Structure formats: C-alpha cells, structure tokens
A = this chain, B = another copy of it.
Amino acid sequence: MSLLSGKKRVIITGISPQVDGGKYPAKVTAGKPMSIKASVFCDGHDEVKAAVVLAAPGGAPGSNHGQEHPMNLLVNDCWEYTTTFAAPGMVEFKILGWVDHFATWQKGLAKKLAAGQRSWVDLEIGAGLMLTSDILTDAEKEALSGLVQNISPNNTDSKAQESLYMFIEEHAFKMARYRNEELVVETPCTYLLEVSRSKAAFSTWYELFPRSAAAQPGMHGTFKDVTRLLPRIASMGFDVLYFPPIHPIGEKKRKGKNNSLAAGEDDQGSPWAIGSRLGGHKAINPELGTLEDFTVLIASAHKAGIEVALDIAFQCAPDHPYVREHPAWFQWRPDGTVQYAENPPKKYEDILPFNFESDDWQRLWTELRSVLLYWVDWGVEIFRIDNPHTKSFRFWEWVIVEVKSKNPNVIFLAEAFTRPRLMEQLAKGGFDQSYTYFTWRTGKVELETYLRELTETPMKHYFRPNFWPNTPDILPPYLTEGGENAHIGRLILAATLSSNYGIYGPVYELGINAPVAGKEEYIDNEKYEVKHWNWDAYTRTREIITRVNRIRKANPALHETNNVHFAVSTSEHIICYVKSTPPSEAGRGNVLIIAVNLDHFNTQSAWVQIPLLEAGLEVGRTYQVHDLLGGSTYRWTGEWNYVSLNPYQIPAHIFLVEQ
C-alpha cells in the first residue's frame, strides 16, 4: 500500500506560471503585478483552502522555509495569489492545500440556520472541532467544555444552545488560522520564477559598429567618437546601445571586404573573428581605445539613460591566445590544424569553434564564465550572445545562472535565428530575450499567427521576443523593395507589437538597402569594413523612430508584449491590434488601438472590428481616439470603425483611447 497518508484528500494541479513542470523558470518582471494560479480541490463538498509558499531557491527539499501566502478562489476550483516582486532574482514556490473542516461546518450551519434547522448536535460538532484544534487558551477550552456539557445530551434548552453558539461565533475567527498539518498536501516539486528587472521586458535597442563612428571619413572610429554620439541616440529614444564584438580581430585567415577570402592590407576584418596576438575575449581592440575609454563611455551612456550591450561570440580566430594556451578546448584535425567552422561544402577558416565535448569541458566552462564576469565587473549588464545555438545548451543553463547569481541585473539576448525547438530551448535555459522570426513575417495573417504563438502558448511564460526589422546579417527583401516606406512601416510594427525591439541603426535611418545579388544581405557590409555614416542626416525614418520611441516611453501598454489583441480587419493590407494595461480604480487602463498599412506603395483602407472587452470599452458607447503619431482625433462608436492609411505620409495610427 502507498506510503502516502491515505487521509490526505486534496489534489493540486494546473499550476501556472510554470515551464516544463517546474524544470525551467517562468519569467516575470519586477515591479509588475503577477499571479500564481493552481487548481486545488478535494472530493466531495468540503471547504478547501490553498496557499503559496515563496522562497529563495535552494532550500532543503520538503523544508517549509519561506513565506506562506493565502490564495483566493476564483472560479472552477482555480485559486490565485497576486503579488509584485520588487527586485530581480530567482524565486521558488510551491502550493499547499488542505480541507478546512471548520469552514465546512460553518457553511453547513449557516444554510441550516437559514432553513430554520438548529440542533444541539451541530453545535456540539462545531465545538468539538474547536476543542481538538490548538487555537484556544486553556481557560477558553474550559469555558467551551462547560457550555457543551450544559447542552448535551439532556439539557437542550435554547438558552444553553444560544450561549454555545455565541461562544463559537466569537472565537470562529481564530479557526481561520488553524489547520491540521497532518492533512496538508503540498506540490511534490517546487516551481521557479525568474524575476527580471524591467529592462528585460521593455527595451529599445540601437546597434552600431564603434569603428564606423569617426567624425572624419577614412578614420577608424573609437569609443570617444561613440561618446560624442550619445546625445543623438538618446534623443531618438533608444536605451540600449549595442556593439558588435570589441575585441582584437584575428589576423590569420582574416576576411576582406564583402567577405572575400583574401584581406587587403588595410582591411580591418570581421569583429566576430575574435582574438590575436593583442589578446582575446577580455581584451579591447586598441584601435577602439582603452579600457578606460570604454568605462568612460559606459558612464556617459548611463548618464544619458543608455546602457551599453556587448556582443559575446564564444569562438576564436586562429590566432586567439586560447588556441595556444588551451589546445584541449578545440578539435584537432589529422593535419595538425584546428577544426574550423564549416557547413559543408562551405568553410569558415577564420572561425574556430570550441569543442563542447572536450574532456577539459569544466575548465572551458569556467573560463567562458570568467569572460562574462569580467565585463560585468567593468559595468556591462546586457549581453547579446552570438549564435548561442551552436554552443551546448547545458553550458548556457549553467553559465547564465552563475552570472546572474553574481549580478541579477544582467540581461542575456539570444541571437539565434534557427529551428523553433532550439530557439525555445535557449529561452527556457535562461536567455532573457530572444531574436525572432519577425524579420520574415510580413503578411497580416502570418504576423497575427506568429504573435499568437508568442503570446498565447506556453512560450509566453519563458520566451521574451525582441523584434528586429534588420541586422547586419539580415536585409529582408521587404526593405529592399519597399524603401523608406517599408523601413517606417516595419519599425512601427516592431516597436508596437513587441515591448523589446531594436534596429541596426545607421543603415536603417539612412534607408541603405542594396543587397548582395540574390541574397538577404547588405552589400559592402559593415561587418567587413570600416564605414562612415552621415550622423547629421535627418530622414523621415529618423523622425518617425523618434516619435514612436517617445510614444513607447509614455504608454505602459507598450511596456509588455503579451497584452496584444488583434482586431478583425476587412483588408489584408491593414493589420490592427489593441494593446492595453488592466483597468484601475482611476478608470480604464492605458489603451492603444494601432493600425498599420502593410502595403508600402498604395493607400489602403479597412473596416476594423475593435475587441471592445480587451480595450476596456463598452458596447454602443462613443469614445474618442487620439492619434499619438499623426495628431488627429476621431470620435468612434462600437466595434466597427474605418481607417485609411497612406504609406507616403504616415503608414499607421497609434490611437490613444482617451479617458
């Protein structure tokens, strides 16, 4: 027979949020209310109570450390506890459930009294429950026993009953604190929450290559040049400034312009070919400046409201010091060379991957952790990890927890454009944000389907999308064909569909969109050469970016991603969605209605059916919407309303529903 006490009758199931049965943490945001839910019930009709126990991870299994909080019954046996975590870090929780016999008795008695049935038997049962609990003082127990003796079984006069009833009523509140610990059921495992700082949930990224930041053409840009650009980037509303790798670039097998195999003498190479005689992942390319210049830049950025994000690419150029110092971390070929990256028949001889099946894996993991911690020590709290899906998943699970245990503010963005299961696994394993398929989702139905997958499936608990309309690696045909109008349309979609978004900035602002013939790639790519950009150019795209980022900052509905609800639209070219925060005592929350024209060549119009419930609107009522982007104001009524958008002016409305 089962060792479990057969007297325990409560069942706990349907726990949310959870990822893979508690194996991975569900992500929540510091400072935002979140709810823990569970189905808690027992057989029959007894009253049940439930509680959640919150604790820091690592307590002894089964130990009752941590703080217990009562849960509230919603409907259909679903219990809820809502809280707001103040600070980032890991939290573990478990759920408790128990039968509350006194509450069952109270409820039954109330019904019987309402039906005019009061018997001394029922009162004595209630008194018995009180006496066998440990909530009464000795004096109270004595008093209660006396009252019970007065009524049972021979003296059943109503005055004695009334006295007993009064006593029970008076002391009933104490029973709410009592339970028989022997009958308490708890979840056999604990569930993890990762509380992230708010920037993990809401961030606006600008990518540039510091080496192209020089004021003069022909010069190699420096951190000092970037420092000069900070006010410009801040004024456009970006709060994360992300650099490709800043380390010394390999000299052996260095690539030339346009990824050519033979580098010219002046070619600076690809920043992702990391390491040379000048150092590896903890060194700075001296052409960019010194470590001091870098820390000055970080401090200046901080003052401007910008955080610097570093690109970490765990791979080596052939002349990286690791190759000499730690040959065991690489795979060696019979010809005495290190196995380079390849995707047969293509060879990438300037890139040597680490061998994660190395017998020396422990030292490798430890060293890579030290790289991250080194930059954390110098003030970097955001990492964009290059191609994480080509390194062992278990390594990431380990190293991310390690780094965050030193500094819970650190944020990791996974740069993986790969198969769905791999992208999901990286997010489960600890990455705070993830690149997405947004870049290739351009039609109305595919955008809606993809957003539903991200925000309505279990992914919503662990995968925080970061939408990029372009990257140095990806120039979608859409931007090539659609020109400035497409750049503006895609930016508005990225910035309003996802609370995290970014652009590879200079080319995006300038609308540079010439591809390598037949490929989704920029020609004369900055990855392989130093460029010079006209930072003073003032384009329509730049103007819209600035406006959109200002709108994002001012509207909390755009600070989260899972709060999107699509409107039915009568045109395949017009996508329309509501983003909203929950209503409060002050009235409806922050409610935006956003409509975007996906056709960059023609004005398109549609009737859109606003999801009133999600927008906090009432059926049949008139409401005023104010376009935060274009400035116009309309009075709308009910569900169906009309929009018309010209891509040569502003291809979108971002309507604020006015209070």
Contact = CB atoms under 8 A, between A and B. Distances in A.
A8 B77 contact: no
Contact of A419 (B77, B356, B358): B77
Contact of A394 (B8, B152, B153, B365): B8
Contacts of A120: 334
A153 B335 contact: yes
Interface in A332-380: 333-335, 342-345, 353, 356-359, 361-362, 365-366
A448 interface: no
A391 B183 CA distance: 16
A536 interface: no
A76 interface: yes
A56 interface: no
Contacts of A421: 11, 13-14, 39, 41, 76-77
A44 interface: yes
A359 B183 CA distance: 12
A644 interface: no
A390 B43 contact: yes
A621 interface: no
Interface in A1-49: 1-2, 4-9, 11, 13-14, 20-21, 39, 41-45
A42 B426 CA distance: 11
A121 interface: yes
Interface in A502-527: none
A43 B77 contact: no
Interface string A143-181: 000000000110000000000000000000000000000
Interface stretch (A109-117, A278-286, A574-582, A605-613): A109-117
A394 B361 CA distance: 46
Nearest to A4: B394
A611 to B, nearest CB: 19
A343 B441 CA distance: 57
Contact of A362 (B6, B39, B45, B333): B6
A395 B45 CA distance: 17
- Best-surrounded residue of A183, A361, A422 (most CB of chain B within 10 A): A422
B392 A6 contact: yes
A392 B9 contact: yes
Contacts of A152: 334
A262 interface: no
A1 B362 contact: yes
- Contact count band on A: 35 or more
Contacts of A425: 11, 13, 41
Contacts of A124: 334
B111 A344 contact: yes
A610 to B, nearest CB: 23
Contacts of A437: none
Interface in A422-444: 422, 425
A452 interface: no
A334 B129 CA distance: 12
A421 B41 CA distance: 8
- Best-surrounded residue of A43, A353, A394 (most CB of chain B within 10 A): A43
A125 B333 contact: yes
22 contacts: A2-B394, A5-B361, A6-B356, A6-B365, A6-B395, A7-B356, A7-B358, A9-B357, A20-B21, A21-B21, A39-B421, A42-B392, A43-B356, A43-B390, A43-B393, A77-B421, A109-B344, A115-B344, A117-B344, A124-B334, A125-B334, A153-B335
Interface of A: 1-2, 4-9, 11, 13-14, 20-21, 39, 41-45, 76-77, 99, 107-109, 111-112, 114-115, 117, 120-121, 124-125, 128, 152-153, 183, 333-335, 342-345, 353, 356-359, 361-362, 365-366, 389-395, 398, 419-422, 425
Q: What are the 5 A-B residue pairs with the smallest beta carbon separation, nearest first?
A: A115-B345, A111-B344, A21-B21, A124-B334, A6-B361
